[in-house]
Structure 1
Amino acid sequence: MLYRAAMSEAPTKATIGTSEFDRDTAVTERPGHPGVYDAELSAGWTIISAINGGYLLALVGRALAHALPHPDPFSLSAHYLTPSRPGPAVVRTAPVRTGRTLSTGQASLFQYDDRGHEVERLRVLASYGDLDALADDVRTTAQPPALPPYDRCFGPQDMPGESPVPGSSAITERLTLRLDPATLGWALGAPSGKGEMRSWFGLADGRDPDPLSLLLAVDALPPTAFELGLTGWVPTVELTAHIRCRPAPGPLRVSVTTRNLAGGFLEEDAEVWDDAGRLVAQSRQLARAPLG
């Protein structure tokens, strides 16, 4: 079943640095080549044979955190140029501007094709700062998603039927998702047509959230296209993520909505809320609608 939760209960905490997410997003600066990082794209974050876009953004985000003088992602805009696949990759970064509170940089992720030619997979423009230095003043009309309690939501392993996307989805073993029953009509053959998805979210090994894992969270839920009655792969064309504050330990609440599908494309607007009830990340992506 697509997006299979690895555990039916809230995860226990893992030590950051020993987490699978940390190992699989690790980058190593190439000796003698400042700003160039080698990485290994893990097959553990694939959907069918393509690698999840949030995982890729987190990996490139880690490279930019090394390359720029500020530690935390504030805003990242990524264009997904060609599908990535498991195996070696190179991230090339370049500073654009460095200021007192923000630094801006760009990065591209490359792989080699079967003929040995370098192919650009992903291009990112990002601004980084220090989340711990942000002011405490919050004025908002945003409200956390009204999710049922954790134990009254469902992991995809609880749902009958076949996956809406045929084939292996290894990423499901690395996430703990507990989905709102109100957004699970697609799993029962009765999609609501509302284009909404809501879930509790965590990493299956219990690693607490941080700014980089928020980049994964905004793109980790089942596509809203499923609740619109469509099935199949929904590839991301462009994704912009805003990290608003450092998340508190504990499970996250994620909501994703689509208001408009037209011309074969749809948008997905995501909000991520932490265990302290704060809006910690927002995103919008443009994705290609499946043909089904």
Structure 2
Amino acid sequence: MSQAASAPAARATVGDSEFDRDTAVARRAPGVYDIDLSAGWTIFGAVNGGYLLAVLGRALGDALPHPDPFTISAHYLTASRPGPAVVRTEEIRTGRTLSTGQASLFQYDDEGREVERIRVLASYGDLAALPDDVRTTAEPPVLPPMAQCFGPEDGPAPDDSVSAIAERLMLKLDPATLGWALGAPSGKGEMRAWFGLADGRDADPLSLLLAVDALPPTAFELGLQGWVPTVELTVHVRCRPAPGPLRVSITTRNLAGGFLEEDAEVWDSADRLVAQSRQLARVRLG
């Protein structure tokens, strides 16, 4: 075997990875950005909500004077599709430690009219400037070692038309939350996994917006199937993650009227709670 063939693939870095390229926005005018939404982050043909949130988060990071998302709330109005899109941002208020803005992503219908896909309101600050004082009762999720967990590559050959995003993630699911894949869902509404990007890029505040919405839906462990579209998603970014894989834990306590909540926690390799989120999603019953 040649030296070139045996050499390990170089790890991608923050700023130079597929995630960075596919969330990059081009400023057309102040507050107006163009992007071509990648088909690589889709599930059932629709663009993943966490990827979309990262796109709008990147645009707001350019438009606002502070660098990091502290809290970002999104309402998903219509399903986004791969292809051209426009992001429009507005600065609402800027203070010494926080700036607040809003952004909307638009695509075009068959007649060339703009259709709003997603609208967000966010506050940005500087995570590096926060004090180190932490007082918490939260504890990181207990997962088996990564070698004892399972990813999409451990099952049947993946169908790219169903979930292209799976190829771009390093996802190793806790076997205790995999009953749905074996035809025996637990009914507990829990999902836990080791998480990273497949090209080895370390996590940063922007990729945390993807991490909270990248695991299979908890609805699967409740015995439900099919697409679970997000209605609203709020993410709190608490600190910059340390290098290494993340641990993501998601729980659902209440499914009623065809809607459920998903509460997510993201922990880094230093056992710090780096992000939290709650989303409301629709499910198909019957």
TM-score range (shorter-chain normalised) is over 0.9
RMSD: 1.5
Instruction: Tell me, yes or no, if the aligned pair for 2:205 and 2:240 is still in contact at 8 Å.
Output: yes
TM-score normalised by L of structure 1: 0.93
Instruction: Tell me, yes or no, if the aligned pair for 2:14 and 2:204 is still in contact at 8 Å.
Output: no
Task: Find the counterpart in structure 2 of residue 197 from structure 1.
Answer: 191
Q: Partners in 2 of 1:252 and 1:144 — Cα distance?
A: 10
Instruction: Tell me, yes or no, if the aligned pair for 2:177 and 2:191 is still in contact at 8 Å.
Output: yes
Task: Find the counterpart in structure 2 of residue 58 from structure 1.
Answer: 54
Instruction: Tell me, yes or no, if the aligned pair for 1:161 and 1:188 is still in contact at 8 Å.
Output: no
Instruction: Tell me, yes or no, if the aligned pair for 1:80 and 1:237 is still in contact at 8 Å.
Output: yes
Pair 105,151 (structure 1): closer, same or farther in 2 beyond 3 Å: same
Higher relative contact order (CA 8 A, sep 6+): 1
Task: Find the counterpart in structure 2 of residue 6 from structure 1.
Answer: none
Counterparts of 1:37-116 in structure 2 under 5 Å? 37-116=33-112
Task: Tell me the number of residue pairs that the alignment of Structure 1 and Structure 2 aligns.
Answer: 278
TM-score normalised by L of structure 2: 0.95
Aligned-pair distance for 1:48?
Answer: 1.4
Q: Partners in 2 of 1:107 and 1:92 — Cα distance?
A: 5
Q: Partners in 2 of 1:90 and 1:27 — Cα distance?
A: 9
Letter in 2 for 1:169: S
Pair 101,162 (structure 1): closer, same or farther in 2 beyond 3 Å: closer
Q: Partners in 2 of 1:12 and 1:194 — Cα distance?
A: 39
Please tell me whether residue 141 in structure 1 is matched to residue 123 in structure 2: no
Aligned-pair distance for 1:74?
Answer: 0.2
Please tell me whether residue 16 in structure 1 is matched to residue 14 in structure 2: yes
Q: Partners in 1 of 2:181 and 2:158 — Cα distance?
A: 8
Q: Give structure 1 regions of 4+ aligned residues with deviation exceeding 4 angstroms.
A: 160-163
Task: Find the counterpart in structure 2 of residue 184 from structure 1.
Answer: 178
Aligned-pair distance for 1:14?
Answer: 1.3
1:1-52 CA distance string (max 9 Å, x none): xxxxxxxxxx96312222000000000110xx21111111000000011000
Letter in 1 for 2:27: E
Aligned-pair distance for 1:155?
Answer: 1.0
Q: 238-247 or 11-20: which moved more?
A: 11-20
Aligned-pair distance for 1:161?
Answer: 9.6
Q: Partner of 2:34: helix, strand, or coil?
A: strand
1:243-269 CA distance string (max 9 Å, x none): 000000100000000000000000000
Instruction: Tell me, yes or no, if the aligned pair for 2:189 and 2:252 is still in contact at 8 Å.
Output: yes
Instruction: Tell me, yes or no, if the aligned pair for 2:14 and 2:201 is still in contact at 8 Å.
Output: yes
Please tell me whether residue 28 in structure 1 is matched to residue 26 in structure 2: yes
Q: Partners in 1 of 2:161 and 2:284 — Cα distance?
A: 15
Instruction: Tell me, yes or no, if the aligned pair for 2:152 and 2:158 is still in contact at 8 Å.
Output: no
Q: Partners in 2 of 1:161 and 1:171 — Cα distance?
A: 14
Letter in 1 for 2:140: P
Task: Find the counterpart in structure 2 of residue 267 from structure 1.
Answer: 261
Q: Partners in 1 of 2:137 and 2:180 — Cα distance?
A: 30
Q: Partners in 2 of 1:142 and 1:12 — Cα distance?
A: 35
Q: Partners in 2 of 1:181 and 1:123 — Cα distance?
A: 36
Q: Partner of 2:275: helix, strand, or coil?
A: strand
Task: Find the counterpart in structure 1 of residue 5 from structure 2.
Answer: none
Q: Give the percent of matched residue pairs that are identical in Structure 1 and Structure 2.
A: 81
Instruction: Tell me, yes or no, if the aligned pair for 1:199 and 1:221 is still in contact at 8 Å.
Output: yes
What 5-or-longer segments of structure 1 have no aligned partner? Answer: 1-10
